[in-house]
Amino acid sequence: MKPKGYRPAEPERLDATFAALADPTRRAILARLASGPASVMELAEPFAMSQPAISKHLKVLERAGLVSRGREAQRRPCRLEAQPLELARDWLEAYRKFWEGSFERLDALLDEMKAQTKAPKGRPRGKP
């Protein structure tokens, strides 16, 4: 099955995206960045971990292409980069279509089975 929008030269990007998304802290960082750019200190606030630990998570997200860092005077705000998420969404979309087709076939089978159980049965032989 070849997902729409998926190019064979991109398995490493897809692997890096899913590896980065595997950690709940990194997913929370991305969720925060979805509302706008933030500094490392701002990203570290809700977590019970040091700034260097957050920086390590950011490096993983940067290597996956999910986060970029800009320059604004002395600040280096982090920004969400959506393209790798789009690639993952496109890859997953093919499997969603597969499962929807499977569920539709299951629904049709269940409807058929239900109709068979509701069908009137013939009278037993030998009884009026």
Q: Rounded to a whole number, what is the distance in angstroms from the first to the last CA of the chain?
A: 59
pLDDT tens-digit readout, 8-30: 557 888 999 999 999 999 999 99
Q: Is this model's pTM higher than 0.85 or not?
A: no
Strand (E) or helix (H) holding 88: helix 83-118
In a domain? residue 111: no
In a domain? residue 24: yes
CATH number at residue 69: 1.10.10.10
Residues near 60 by beta carbon (within 8 Å), at least 6 away in sequence: 19, 20, 23, 26
Q: What pLDDT band is residue 39 in, cutting at 50, 70 and 90?
A: very high
pLDDT tens-digit readout, 60-119: 999 999 999 987 667 789 999 989 998 888 888 878 777 777 777 787 788 888 888 886
- pLDDT at 125 exceeding the cut of 70: no
Q: Which domain holds residue 32?
A: 11-82
In a domain? residue 5: no
Q: Identify any residues that bridge with 79 across adjacent strands, giving them in sequence order.
A: 68
What's the Rg (C-alpha) of the chain?
Answer: 25
| Count of the separate structural domains present in the chain | 1
